[in-house]
Amino acid sequence: MELRRRYTTADLGVFTPEEASRFLPPGGGDPQNDVILAWELLYRLEPELYDRLASAERLHPGIVSWLPCGVGRIAEVGAGTGRLTMELIGRGQHVVAVEPAGPMRLILERKLAAADHGHRARVVHGFFDQLPLPDDSADLVVACSAFTPAAGHGGETGLAEMERVCRPGGCVAVLWPNHLGWLVARGYRHVSFPGPMSAQFGSYADAVELAEVFFPRAAGEVRRLGRRLVPFEVLGINPPRDLAFKVLAG
């Protein structure tokens, strides 16, 4: 069933009070009329389904290569199930991954342990607007497909928090941003990596199943194409090829 129809108000009880205060509008909220709320429920109720989608939507290799390498401390916010975290491990001596949704943290911890990276990464609970990290404690602070200008998902306070945690001369980077202009207006520079990009589903069956949930309008075309690689244009979303960054004054 498609994401917009998947959950009901009966599912809202999964939110902790601090999640509810950020994600629910005054008076409640209905995930069938608010897809952002539906995504938040997905992270808590079906995190493995999200992880299958994120595994298919691989970042442009240029994004990962662009990130600074050989740095000491990296902080990632909204780490989810680790699409970016697993790449960051090789680029810094220590990574702290901040993620509010407990079920997503469990998957990320499992992946880090399986890759024997547990000692180089710490997964912690936290939100953009109140990062549980000291001032100037990271050389790189990064978020991937997580930060938005909305207060519950970052906003002015969240951006200020990312910059507080980043040391002078360090870099704050927002990968796959949804509102580039908002970041550019705040002094961030845009980088985009060219070339055709496709979502890489595990199989054709996987492509069809995930399209029915996340890209229902494209599901017919995905079925007609009959393969596991599906161009992002077919899915109707921007490919993960952009980033916005700011190097803080030293």
Ligand X SMILES: C[S@@+](CC[C@H](N)C(=O)[O-])C[C@H]1O[C@@H](n2cnc3c(N)ncnc32)[C@H](O)[C@@H]1O
The site for ligand X (CB under 6 A) is made up of 22, 43, 54, 77-80, 83-84, 99-101, 104, 127-128, 144-146, 152-153
Six token digits for residue 239? 């490919």
Name the minimum Å distance from CB 27 to ligand X.
Answer: 20
Which residues contact residue 40 at a Cβ distance below 8 angstroms, ignoring those fewer than 6 apart? 15, 19, 23, 101
Name the minimum Å distance from CB 100 to ligand X.
Answer: 5
Paired strand residues for 81? none
How remote is the C-alpha of 92 from its chain's centroid?
19
189, containing H or E segment:
strand 189-192
Q: Of 44 and 246, which CB lies nearer to ligand X in the complex structure?
A: 44
Name the minimum Å distance from CB 226 to ligand X.
Answer: 27
Q: Of 200 and 221, which CB lies nearer to ligand X in the complex structure?
A: 200
Number of residues in the chain: 250
Q: Of 123 and 146, which CB lies nearer to ligand X in the complex structure?
A: 146
Q: Of 62 and 221, which CB lies nearer to ligand X in the complex structure?
A: 62
Six token digits for residue 6? 């998947």
Nearest-CB residue to ligand X?
Answer: 80
- Which value, in Å, is the radius of gyration of the alpha carbons in the chain? 18
Q: Of 46 and 221, which CB lies nearer to ligand X in the complex structure?
A: 46
Name the minimum Å distance from CB 89 to ligand X.
Answer: 14
Name the minimum Å distance from CB 22 to ligand X.
Answer: 5
Helices (H) and strands (E) in the chain, counts: 12, 9
Paired strand residues for 12? none
